Chain A
């Protein structure tokens, strides 16, 4: 069984962004430059938050447009990046209509959720969950 990151209820989100920090911390560093998840307000925090992250499409448009085959569809949905094939053309960024492909300016390669679930451990408000597929 594979798992994917699922957003249960954004109304419960308080905008603490601990998920964003957790995502960069996967690699042991601090900051946000490697984060594949973004929480922002829906035009003013009183209206609540939107959580932007790869929803693990079963037939991912980002993989379809990748000219070098660097984004490989993952079993159970989503993609895995083969960094050495990626030429940094950003076609994947345009192809993702929910804006879930982020960009790493240091390496000039995409940042996309690998469905690892590390962020879920730091969400105490029941917004994020790992779902079996």
Chain B
């Protein structure tokens, strides 16, 4: 029945509208797939100091050996040089993307160059088509773009459609790529990289075969994973209320960033909680391909037409914890419909909701402190909770009518260097912060995590586990680093991190066996460590420097559930981290 096609990399050259396949077994044998293979490809493809929005940047999508094989291996890794941070760009998404890529017969896709005209790429297993996307370029709504491509191409049910909105076309440095309408390669600006290449969308379809060596063992291990998945309370949590279950939990412990982190508690949290959304707005729950959990929550929002009696439209909005934090509590918005409307606007244009929310929060505070004028804001008077103004502002970020909006389209760190207010520009390593003010470890992990994401090393989680206890710095840093290293293995397979409790090291090692691949737990740990260092090397190569990172003062001024963060201890943790990864040695080598 042939061999597993995982090691096939599809190369696409937008300059010359060509494509070819190369066998890269050597990478998959050593680095598994996903994150591990992507970082090696990124290193070899992108020359040092390349312009992230220039022709030398590439777009890499990778999947891993478990995609299409085991449940909850449902994610795709995107890698690129980030136009937001200037170094490692890595973003993950689910939907149908990983299954489509894997079953089209590829372990990865590398897209090079820049197209002369707007295009979208359609990949139907071995066939690759460049379609003229001039008609789609400039279209206001990314929803319409998705609908048109859906009707224009075959493969319903076994395809992914990744696309950008106006924000990507306009090169907003935190524009995202939307897939299957409601999932996102959200962070670090992949949408702008698409836009810079005049690449409007990529459709991939496939339903190929993956041969298994030990079939009875495969069915047995599959059964074990499946049973755990459908019986664990954690999975129930993700299905019933979903990630927004965090709103009330974090608010209760006073760790919910509110009004640009002027507060750690939102008095109106009840109305934007997961429980409230589920009760009042939940229209449908859906799942990524090959995941029984179904954590995707779609709100159905009825909007009446003012000019036609008894007539309304129903729009669907995908809500999760992070967007609710970013365009909800962070902006002081306690009106759930207002939150949904901003999320809808952000999705219409294809922005990253998290960065956008933090940018809007900075704009509000900067406006209130008179750092920016009403001329700068194009007439908008920012006020906490005023969602209609924020919707206007989202459009301004995309269309950039003034110098201020041009600046904030580069991120909050960039804008604050020009206009001031750096102490409350809530970004780490250039990436706008996630929604956890749970203690020192959350912020530490945003700062040193290789993607500046809460998901890198999950400091927010360790903070909460240690509530009421003293944080021992050395121990905590060690734990977080090991966590990030292990997560490199999971995102190389590529497992959804929600399933990390099921895919324990022993389980992963066992699950490789039916594929005829042997990795001991120690092997896996070592690979995780290597991948992590490779990512850090790329960051350093592109100018990231742990000795020069900016820490927004605000995190020391607003208490956390662990009390005020002590700055000295915080800096000490960075030093411990540097010793542990032999940072100075890494830096010297590059």
Is residue A124 contacting chain B, with contact meaning CB distance below 8 A?
A: yes
Q: Give the residue of A39, A106, A122 whose beta carbon is less than 8 angstroms from that of B209.
A: A106
Q: Which of A24-32, A66-74, A76-84, A88-96 lies on the face that meets chain B?
A: A24-32
- Give Cα A18 to B289, complex, Å: 8
Do A32 and B158 form a contact, CB below 8 Å, given A16-B290, A122-B292, A124-B230?
yes
Task: Decide yes or no whether B1 CB sits under 8 A from chain A.
Answer: yes
Interface residue from B157, B209, B230, B285 paired with A33 (Cβ < 8 Å): B209
Q: Is the CB of A46 within 8 A of B283?
A: yes
A16-47 contact mask (Cβ, 8 Å, vs B): 1 or 0: 11100100110111111111001111011110
Binds A, one of B216-224, B392-400, B470-478: B216-224
Residue B533, interface by CB 8 Å: no
A43 to B292, CA, bound (A): 21
Residues on the A chain within 8 Å of B208, using CB: 31-33
Given contacts A30-B212, A32-B208, A33-B208, contact A18 B292 (CB under 8 A): yes
Among residues of A, the one whose C-beta sits closest to the C-beta of B215 is A28
Are A25 and B222 interface neighbours, CB within 8 A? yes
**What residue of chain B has the Cβ atom nearest to residue A17's Cβ?**
B289
Q: Is the CB of B181 within 8 A of A38?
A: no
Minimum CB–CB distance for A105 against chain B, Å: 9
Interface residue from B207, B215, B294, B316 paired with A35 (Cβ < 8 Å): B207
Q: A40, B156: Cβ atoms under 8 Å? A: yes
Q: Which residues of A contact B69 (CB under 8 A)?
A: 30
Q: Which residues of A contact B293 (CB under 8 A)?
A: 16
* Measured CA separation A119–B281 after assembly (Å): 32
Whether A31 contacts B103 in the complex (CB less than 8 A), given A16-B291, A45-B286, A124-B292, comes out as yes
Whether the pair A29, B215 counts as a contact (CB closer than 8 A) is yes
Contacts of B180 in A (CB 8 A): 45
- Choose from B150, B209, B284 the contact partner of A31 (Cβ within 8 Å): B209
DSSP class of A's interface residues: helix, strand, loop or mixed? loop
Whether, in the assembled complex, B287 has its beta carbon less than 8 Å from a beta carbon of chain A, the answer is yes
B298→A46 contact, CB < 8 A: yes
| B216 neighbours in A (Cβ, 8 Å) | 28
Q: Does B47 count as interface, using CB distance less than 8 angstroms?
A: no
B68 within 8 A of A: yes
B567 at the interface (CB under 8 A from A): no
Tell yes or no: B280 within 8 A of A by CB: no
How far apart sit A35 and B290, CA to CA, in the bound complex (Å)? 14
> Does B586 sit at the interface, judged by CB under 8 A?
no
Q: Does B210 contact A (CB under 8 A)?
A: yes
What is the interface of chain B, defined by CB distance below 8 A to chain A?
1, 68-69, 71, 99, 103, 147, 150, 156-158, 180-182, 207-212, 215-216, 218-219, 222, 226, 230, 283-294, 298, 300, 316
A residues adjacent to B (C-beta < 8 A):
14-18, 21, 24-25, 27-35, 38-41, 43-46, 48, 106, 122, 124-125
25 sampled A-B residue pairs with Cβ under 8 A: A15-B286, A16-B287, A16-B293, A16-B294, A21-B68, A28-B215, A28-B216, A28-B219, A29-B211, A30-B218, A31-B103, A31-B207, A32-B207, A32-B208, A35-B207, A40-B157, A40-B158, A44-B150, A44-B181, A45-B182, A45-B286, A46-B182, A46-B283, A46-B284, A125-B294
**4 cross-chain pairs, A with B, having the tightest CB-CB distances, nearest first:** A28-B215, A40-B157, A46-B316, A16-B287
